[in-house]
Amino acid sequence: MRNLFAAFAVLFLAATTFGAGITKKPYGKMPDGTAIEEYTLTNKSGMTMKVITYGGIVTELHVPDKDGKLADVCLGCSSLEEYREGHPYFGAITGRVANRIAKGKFTLDGKEYTLATNNGANHLHGGKVGFDKVVWTAKSDEGETQQALRLYYKSNDGEEGYPGNLKVSVLYVLTDSNSWMIEYSAVTDKATPINLTQHAYFNLAGHASGTIHDHVVTIHADKYTPGDETLIPTGKIEPVKGTPFDFTEPTAIGKRIKEIKADPVGYDLNYVLREEKVASTTKPVATVTEPKSGRVMKVLTSEPGVQFYTGNFLDGKQKGKGGVKYPQYGGFCLETQHYPDSINQKTFPSIVLEPGKTYVHRTVYSFSTVK
């Protein structure tokens, strides 16, 4: 995987064949008149990804099934207006700190910081106006074997209560081998917490295909971080064996979901990923198979954790693409990340970025098929 990501540094400028390439068109305007653009990345096999500069949102991801038929496997909205009206982070970049921070407070270098509490008593996904709701600057590159889009954003000191001027870059790459590769990077002029992720909701049968109960999941994690009723980690790390959270062997999502004691019922927890004996840029962490279409999605990441979420809070009221109403369990997320509330949990891997250092996070969603 190290060589795979080394290709990020060499993005060829020549146009590709078989319809592969990148196109751009207007997607709408913000209330202040700022233009939002939509980029369409297409590879040589016809796999297509659409991205808008509002929130860095991946609005569509068309992936072939076992017969070569394409379907859009990402949940989303139909227009900028619908995204701005409110949605559960469909396909968006989340940060400055993804997931939850207890009580919206943390102390860093002896100073206490207070953030918005936009998820009950806690802070979630960067606050009221997190990275999912800002306008990113985009630059595209067409290559011989991949299409790439780089997104840029500067988060000013004090934005949403966070310290430091943070310069962020997120690179989306669509390869001819049907992989969506992501590289996040950031630098700061003051110590600050950072934990970026992509919040895509997947349904490998197609975004409007009902629930994901039949999807078969494997997660390479023997442990998880249990949380309280508000999903803030207790600080413990416990084994998955003997619990409904055990996906160490291929298991259908719906098989044990009703055994989970939560409101609403469903999976929404952070898995502690296994450490590889040999250090590498990324490691395989999960595989999901949809039996009818034969689509398979493998996840690789450089991060220590992944949040597995099954759309528990979808309630059939959320308006999706084409007017579809997404039901509960209509999609799943595998959000590669550091653990929730790490800034307040001293035994968890640190999410503090210091001046002079560079934050780097790499993730791959690789698609294939089985008969």
Q: With contact defined as beta carbons under 8 Å apart, do 41 and 143 qualify?
A: no
Of the listed 125, 199, 338, 361, which one is catalytic?
A: 199
State how far Cα 238 lies from the chain centre.
24
Of the listed 160, 335, 338, 361, which one is catalytic?
A: 335
- Residues 6 or more apart from 119 whose CB is under 8 A from it? 100, 230
3-state secondary structure the chain: CHHHHHHHHCCCCCCCCCCCEEEEEEEEECCCCCEEEEEEEECCCCCEEEEECECCCEEEEEEECCCCCEEECECCCCCHHHHHHCCCCCCCEECCECCEEHHHEEEECCEEEECCCCECCEEECCCCCCHHHCECEEEEEECCCEEEEEEEEEECCCHHHCCCCEEEEEEEEEECCCEEEEEEEEEECCCEECECEECCCECCCCCCCCCCCCCEEEECCCEEECECCCCCECCCCEECCCCCCCCCCCEEHHHCHHHCCCCCCCCEEEEECCCCCCCCCCEEEEEEECCCCCEEEEEEECCCEEEEECCCCCCCCCECHHHCECCCCCCEEEEEECCCCHHHCCCCCCCEECCCCCEEEEEEEEEEECC
Q: Can you tell me the distance from the alpha carbon of 338 to that of 100, in angstroms, rounded to the nearest whole number? A: 11
Is residue 199 annotated as part of the catalytic site, yes or no?
Answer: yes
Q: First and final CA of the chain: distance in angstroms?
A: 26
- Residues 6 or more apart from 33 whose CB is under 8 A from it? none
Q: Which amino acid, one-letter code, is at 255?
A: K
Residues forming the active site: 199, 335
